[in-house]
Amino acid sequence: MSAGSPRAILIAGPTASGKSSAALKLALACNGAIINADSMQVYRQLRILSARPGEDDEALVPHYLYGSVSAAQAYSTGMWVEDVAAALETVWSQGRTPIIVGGTGLYFYALEKGLSPVPDIAVEVREKWREKLATQGVGALYDALKTLDSDMAERLKPNDSQRIVRALEVIEATGVSLSQWHARDRSTPLLAGNDIVRLVVSVDRQEVYRRCERRLDTMIERGGLDEVRDLLALKLDPRLPAMKALGVPQLS
């Protein structure tokens, strides 16, 4: 990393906005390496559906955390923070500028703000609430949250199933509201300060819609249906994040 260059470059934006293309151009121009911050592009079985960079692009500059995780794993933000810490050290040791690109806002938030010290939740508790979501629906779980943790219920939208389940897991496992955990001291952020360049790729909404439609056609042409069939053949738990990736339920 040359003198005066930023410690890292962060690129965010909506789906199909051109983030990956922008990251590649920057990496070629500034001796950079690209690190993934998209929660679906980490799964190796989802190259086509998650629109991961192609092999030609990966050959031009180093890419990290793309296809690095099995779809059988319930990958979390905490796991990504650990993996991205190692990737950052590798990139810096090579004298390169890390360019972190993706559309998962929670990843960027954890990167710059740190993580709340919520303890690990027992698998049985996780399974319990996910099963209840599948069988009873989000409305019933939101009602349960209003009884068990009214503070979090007021903060969440009644249809936000993922966060409602998370809040229920935490209050049952720890006896402490997720809001109280969030108020406690966070872990030290991996990136902070004025030497970070933050970019957002902004595209007209109608143009984004057109690009998404073209991307879907391209995914089908390149074997998206076969990718879904191969994923389903693994007979994974349908509650795993990879099984809920955009395109998997729709093309199943």
* Average pLDDT over the chain, rounded to an integer: 91
Dihedral (Cα; 199, 197, 186, 66), 10-degree rounding = 60
Q: What global pTM score does this model have? A: 0.79
At residue 1, does pLDDT exceed 60? Answer: no
Q: What is the pLDDT of residue 49?
A: 93
Q: Are 85 and 65 in contact (CB under 8 A)?
A: no
Q: How many CA atoms lie within 13 A of 184 on its CB side?
A: 12
Span 123-183 CATH architecture: Orthogonal Bundle (1.10)
Tell me the CA distances in angstroms from 241 to 33, 68, 248, one per residue in order. 26, 15, 11
The per-residue pLDDT for range 101-122, each reduced to its tens digit, is 998 888 999 999 888 777 778 8
At residue 196, does pLDDT exceed 60? Answer: yes
In the chain, domain spans:
8-115+187-245, 123-183
The per-residue pLDDT for range 12-60, each reduced to its tens digit, is 999 889 999 999 999 999 999 999 999 999 999 999 999 999 999 999 9
The per-residue pLDDT for range 134-146, each reduced to its tens digit, is 899 999 999 999 9
Q: What is the pLDDT of residue 3?
A: 55
Q: At what angle do helices 205-221 and 224-233 cross, to 10 degrees?
A: 70
Assigned CATH for 8-115+187-245: 3.40.50.300
Q: How many CA atoms lie within 13 A of 103 on its CB side?
A: 15
The per-residue pLDDT for range 66-114, each reduced to its tens digit, is 999 999 998 888 899 999 999 999 999 999 999 999 988 889 999 998 8
